[in-house]
């Protein structure tokens, strides 16, 4: 039956964007994971960093599922109901918007944390870390750790841009599909009788006289 036919709900450009979302999320996650590992060696890791990693990991799975489940249905006939739900542009728009908001929140939070972070290993705040047996490790690693965290934040923003680009493209598609076509002037006919005159447009109801 034709109703059983299912096409991938996104274009090749959207395939590329979903791949970019996974790629940048993975890079951001890897960078922030390295930052947390260094912080936990000398101090406690930031909750913002942990939240950032969690959101990035889950967003990778969602980006993969949005394109993967319809593809699995096409190839193997599995997950039919879920694939049909993801085929609806409005569903994809809502999911993309939700993840765009979540990634924006954690990216802003981590950006603020990076801007306020003290990266001077000789600061009085790190006196107990820059002296003793581990002083060389801490002094040499703190600057690299700060650069790694800034890189992780940058990749997080690139990931957000990819999600927002998908959101814009889906929104444009929804807008175009909802626009009502303007009838051609040749399709508009005048009907007159002794009492009324009205314009009739095909597929639309007759407009009653005032």
Residue range 59-103, pLDDT digits in tens: 999 999 888 888 788 777 787 788 878 777 888 899 999 999 999
> pLDDT, tens digit, for every residue of 125-147?
776 776 666 677 777 788 888 89
Q: Which residues contact 57 (CB under 8 A, 6 or more apart)?
A: 25, 29
Per-residue pLDDT, 209: 54
The residue written with tokens 């593809």 in the block is: 71
Mean pLDDT of the residues in the chain: 79
**Of all helices (H) and strands (E), which one includes residue 190?**
strand 189-192
Q: Within a 10 A sphere around the Cβ of 125, how many other Cβ atoms?
A: 12
Q: How far is CA 188 from the centre of its chain?
A: 44
Per-residue pLDDT, 5: 52
Give the global pTM: 0.75
**Of all helices (H) and strands (E), which one includes residue 149?**
helix 135-178
Identify the bridge partners of residue 189 per DSSP, sorted by sequence position: 200
Q: Is the model's pLDDT at 181 over the cut of 50?
A: yes
Q: Within a 10 A sphere around the Cβ of 142, how many other Cβ atoms?
A: 23
Is residue 89 within 8 Å of residue 177, measured between CB atoms? Answer: yes
Q: What separation in angstroms does the CA of 65 have from each of 82, 101, 104, 107, 114?
A: 10, 18, 21, 23, 31
């Amino acid at each position: 039956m034709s109703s059983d036919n299912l096409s991938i709900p996104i274009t090749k450009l959207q395939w590329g964007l979903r791949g970019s979302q996974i790629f940048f999320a993975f890079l951001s996650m890897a960078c922030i994971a390295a930052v947390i590992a260094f912080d936990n060696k000398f101090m406690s890791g930031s909750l913002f960093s942990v939240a950032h990693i969690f959101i990035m990991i889950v967003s990778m799975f969602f980006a993969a599922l949005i394109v993967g489940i319809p593809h699995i249905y096409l190839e193997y006939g599995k997950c039919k109901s879920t694939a049909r739900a993801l085929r609806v542009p409005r569903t994809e728009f809502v999911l993309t918007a939700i993840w765009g908001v979540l990634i924006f929140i954690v990216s802003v939070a981590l950006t603020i944390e990076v801007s306020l972070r003290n990266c001077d290993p000789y600061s009085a705040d790190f006196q107990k870390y820059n002296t003793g047996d581990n002083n060389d490790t801490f002094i040499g690693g703190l600057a690299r750790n700060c650069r790694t965290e800034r890189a992780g934040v940058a990749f997080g923003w690139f990931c957000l841009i990819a999600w927002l680009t998908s959101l814009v493209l889906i929104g444009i598609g929804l807008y175009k599909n909802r626009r009502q076509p303007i009838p051609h002037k040749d399709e508009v006919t005048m009907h007159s009788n002794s009492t009324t005159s009205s314009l009739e447009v095909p597929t639309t109801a007759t407009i009653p006289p005032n």
